[in-house]
A = this chain, B = another copy of it.
Amino acid sequence: MLSTTPRTTLGRSKHRALSRREDLYAVLDAGMVCHLGVVADGSPMVVPTCYGRIDDTLYLHGSTGAASLRNTGEVCVTVTHLDGIVLARSVFSHSLNYRSAMIYGRPRRVEDPEECLAGLRAITEQLAPGQWDVARKPTRKELAATTVLALSLAEASVKVRQGPPNDDEEDRALPIWAGVLPLHQVWGAPEPDPTMTAELPVPAHIASRTAPAR
């Protein structure tokens, strides 16, 4: 079960909250970019960044110079999938179909070199499954230039809306088309780096993704 702290308990739209840890994993594992919120000089700052998950830990990384990682106070990490536009008869009932997860916590700076590598591997594999094993691994110098943060998934909430519009009963007879316009993410054809000198085929772990995406 997910946490039930005040900030992870939905005040409104309670029926949209999911409460199993598996629901949280499903939203996180289907994503590639999260939005990391920090407080910098008293103001909020929201930065898109990639992430990876190992069990109940989310890993984030960045340059050691990144302002968003220098702050190690409380953060909020949000992952959102937009699944469709909900077109209702009334403007008021228009909505979005989506899956989203919010995680609150104070990230820990990863110092252990093995955990650093494991975190970077999780981040790389989240974006491109299979790449870690084929790509050149980070050097000591590259690792020194990288900050890896670990955020516990202990305090998190999941919110999902799916399905048709919820127009008021008295609006349903209006002669206005209502329904959902679904939105999907699809991969395009791989674009080889023009600086590649050898004629290398697109590896199977990349080529196989160009089927309809998650």
Q: A residues near B, CB below 8 A?
A: 7, 11-12, 32-33, 35-48, 50, 63, 65-67, 74-78, 80, 82, 84-85, 87-92, 94, 96, 98, 100, 102, 104, 120, 124, 127-128, 131-132, 134-139, 142, 146, 164-165, 167, 171-198, 200-203, 206, 209-210, 213
Contact = CB atoms under 8 A, between A and B. Distances in A.
13 contacts: A32-B82, A35-B35, A39-B43, A45-B102, A48-B80, A91-B135, A92-B142, A96-B127, A128-B181, A177-B196, A177-B202, A181-B191, A181-B209
Dominant SS among interface residues on chain A: mixed
A39 B40 contact: no
Contacts of A77: 46
One complex includes copies of this chain to the number of 2
Given A82-B33, A127-B94, A213-B183, A89 B11 contact: no
Given A11-B66, A37-B76, A90-B136, 7 more contacts: A7-B45, A12-B66, A39-B39, A48-B98, A94-B135, A181-B188, A184-B187
